[in-house]
A = this chain, B = another copy of it.
Amino acid sequence: MPTRWDEPITEELNKVEEEIRRSVVSRESLLTRISLHVISSGGKRLRPGVVLLAHKAVGGSDISKIVDMAAAFELIHSATLIHDDINDGGRTRRGRESAYRQFGVQKALVTGDFLFVKGFQLGGPQDRRVVNYLADACTKMAESEILQWQYANDPDTSIESYLKIIEGKTARPIEAGAKVGALLGGGSSRQIDDLGRYGLNLGLAFQITDDILDIVGSEATLGKPKGMDFLDGTPTLPLILAMDDGTKGKRISTLFKKKRKNHNDLEEALLLLSKSDALDSARKYALEFSKKARGCLRSVPQSVYKDSLQALAKAVVHRDS
């Protein structure tokens, strides 16, 4: 992401990184190796960034506790990445072979569990509200995985259903991170709510942009082949919008409905899609959520951290990877 939204929290993010690496040390070195395979593959650290910024934006200064929480969110995110790849047959992730492909399903599955435990160990011994924010977000992630499969290869998936899925999958955990950051920073109820809504809208903008990049991105910067959502039968916003677009849309629907899609299907669908307004319309949705996110920060006083939250909301939609 181009904007240096993380400038004012560089030091804290380094501490989060140390904490994560410290957490995954195990007497079974393979667990550490598989964990680091995922963790050190250069994720965006969006989730810990939001936790830290929300904390600082409300005047929080309990760095040690908030670094633990930020690490907890990233560890749990890494756990879900490993399990998702097993479930979706994802072959590459951030330019690397996915964990289960490199180390086998069994070991990847157990490493995911290990990372879950490490995340909850860091995030656990806290206020009941904190644990509930974290756990409720994880519950929604699991629920939205189940929901997503109900719409696999379904060209009639509504935008509403799509938004419900990405809300659970991506936006709720970011919302929870923002709320936890604000709560532990001593924010008012109003600030906690507002930062939560910021996180929710940020997450939606982020995921819609991800889904657009799956179509228009370059494989080199994405770190994975493009068109995976189409091939997997995952109905993303640009696909849903394109399938709703006249004769071209009908044809994309027909291709999308196929349970086994091949690369010719993908090429044809991408070509038709590039001639439709779907990508532009999807971008408008992303921009709208980004704007909404920025509009949620009124109760947060001016500071470099608030500036960063604003910059982040722009950065998630203006990026090429």
Closest 9 CB pairs of A and B: A121-B135, A124-B131, A125-B128, A124-B124, A120-B120, A114-B142, A117-B138, A28-B146, A125-B131
Please state if A30 and B109 are interface contacts (CB–CB under 8 Å): no
Given A109-B87, A126-B125, verify A28-B117 contact (CB < 8 Å).
no
Please state if A125 and B123 are interface contacts (CB–CB under 8 Å): no
The CA-CA distance from A143 to B136 in the complex, in Å, is 27
Please state if B113 and A83 are interface contacts (CB–CB under 8 Å): yes
Contact pattern, A 247-289, Cβ under 8 Å of B = 1, otherwise 0: 0000000000000000000000000000000000000000000
Q: Which of B26, B112, B131, B146 touches A143 (beta carbons < 8 Å)?
A: B26
Does A132 interact with chain B (Cβ within 8 Å)? yes
Does A110 interact with chain B (Cβ within 8 Å)? yes
Does A127 interact with chain B (Cβ within 8 Å)? yes
By a CB distance below 8 angstroms, the chain B residues around A118 are 135, 139
The CA-CA distance from A131 to B122 in the complex, in Å, is 9
Interface of A is mostly: helix
User: Closest Cβ of chain B: how far from A116's Cβ, in Å?
Assistant: 5
Beyond A83-B109, A87-B110, 9 additional contacts (C-beta under 8 Å) are A31-B146, A86-B109, A106-B145, A106-B149, A107-B146, A114-B139, A114-B143, A116-B116, A120-B131
Range of interface residues on chain A? 35 or more
The CA-CA distance from A124 to B87 in the complex, in Å, is 27
Does A27 interact with chain B (Cβ within 8 Å)? yes
The CA-CA distance from A57 to B113 in the complex, in Å, is 32
User: Closest Cβ of chain B: how far from A213's Cβ, in Å?
Assistant: 25
Question: Which residue of the partner chain B has the closest CB to A139?
Answer: B117
Does A216 interact with chain B (Cβ within 8 Å)? no
Does A147 interact with chain B (Cβ within 8 Å)? yes
Question: Which residue of the partner chain B has the closest CB to A27?
Answer: B143
Please state if B135 and A124 are interface contacts (CB–CB under 8 Å): yes
Interface residues of A in 277-320 (CB under 8 A from B): none
The CA-CA distance from A135 to B119 in the complex, in Å, is 9
Contact pattern, A 86-126, Cβ under 8 Å of B = 1, otherwise 0: 11000000000000000001110111111011101101111
Given A116-B116, A124-B126, verify A26-B87 contact (CB < 8 Å).
no
The CA-CA distance from A253 to B271 in the complex, in Å, is 60
User: Closest Cβ of chain B: how far from A219's Cβ, in Å?
Assistant: 26
By a CB distance below 8 angstroms, the chain B residues around A142 are 26, 28, 31, 110-111, 113-114, 117
User: Closest Cβ of chain B: how far from A136's Cβ, in Å?
Assistant: 8
By a CB distance below 8 angstroms, the chain B residues around A83 are 109-110, 113
